[in-house]
Amino acid sequence: MSISRDDIEKVALLARIRVNDQQVAELEQDLGNILDLVDQLQAADTSNTAPMAHPLDAVQRLRADEVTETNQREAYQAIAPATEAGLYLVPKVID
């Protein structure tokens, strides 16, 4: 199955990865090859098969609704690219 340039650009935007024109051309080829590989799946008869999310069919555990974590804001923010007054800084979003 082939994938169009428009698809690549849309996917890049969804994935929040900037791509230039040359990369779009390369990705068109590479992703097309990968999608050809995975298209083998369509031949399998799965009409009576339930999807599998966990190998042991385990489900999420529940726990008591209690505070178990301690506040480590300073330690976590110490490794952030930009912080101020306990907040993470990003470029201005609202004018």
The amino acid occupying position 45 is D
DSSP bridge partners of 88: 83
Instruction: Give the tokens for residue 46.
Output: 């799965």
* DSSP helix/strand/coil, 88: strand
Candidates 21, 22, 60, 66: give the one binding another protein (CB under 8 A): 60
Q: Is 4 in the site for another protein (CB under 8 A)?
A: no
Task: Choose which of 4, 5, 25, 76 interacts with another protein (CB under 8 A).
Answer: 76
Q: Which H or E element spans position 11?
A: helix 5-14
Binding test (CB under 8 A) with another protein, winner from 22, 46, 70, 71: 46
Tell me which residues in 26-45 interact with another protein (CB under 8 A).
Answer: 27, 30-31, 33-35, 37-42, 44
